[in-house]
Amino acid sequence: METRFLETFVQVVQLGSLAEASRRLGITPAAVAQRITALEEEIGMPLLVRAGRRVKPTEAGRSILEHSSRVLSDVRRLRFLAQQDQASGELRLGAISTALTGMLPPALRFIFDNMPNMEVFLLPGTSADLYQSLMDEKIDAAILVRPPFPIPKTLEWKTLRSEKLILMAPRAFKEADPHELLRSQPFIRYDRSNWGGRLVDHYLQQNGILPRDWLELDSLEAIAVMVANGLGVSLLPDWSAPWQETMNIVRLDMPEKSASREVGLLWPRNAPAGRLVQIILDALAKGP
Q: Tell me the angle at which helices 18-25 and 3-15 cross, rounded to the nearest 10 degrees.
A: 130
Give first-to-last CA distance, the chain, whole Å. Answer: 45
Which pTM does this prediction carry? 0.70
Which residue positions in the chain have pLDDT lower than 50? Answer: none
Domain 1-82 has CATH 1.10.10.10: yes
Residues with Cβ within 8 Å of 82's Cβ and at least 6 positions away in sequence, in order, are none
pLDDT given for residue 115 in this prediction: 81
Neighbouring C-beta atoms of residue 145, cutoff 10 Å: 26
**In whole angstroms, how far apart are CA 4 and each of 75, 78, 174?**
11, 15, 57
Percentages helix, strand, coil for the chain (3-state, rounded to 5) are 45, 25, 30
Structural class in CATH, domain 84-161+261-288: alpha beta
pLDDT given for residue 176 in this prediction: 96
User: Under CATH, which architecture does the 165-259 domain have?
Assistant: 3-Layer(aba) Sandwich (3.40)
CA distance 149 to 169: 31
User: Where in the sequence of the chain do the CATH 3.40.190.10 domains occur?
Assistant: 84-161+261-288, 165-259
Residues with Cβ within 8 Å of 284's Cβ and at least 6 positions away in sequence, in order, are 103, 104, 107, 160, 265
DSSP 171: G
pLDDT given for residue 150 in this prediction: 94
Beta carbons of 171 and 250 less than 8 angstroms apart: yes
pLDDT per position as a tens digit, 123-141: 999 999 999 999 988 899 9
Beta carbons of 236 and 188 less than 8 angstroms apart: no
Neighbouring C-beta atoms of residue 281, cutoff 10 Å: 17
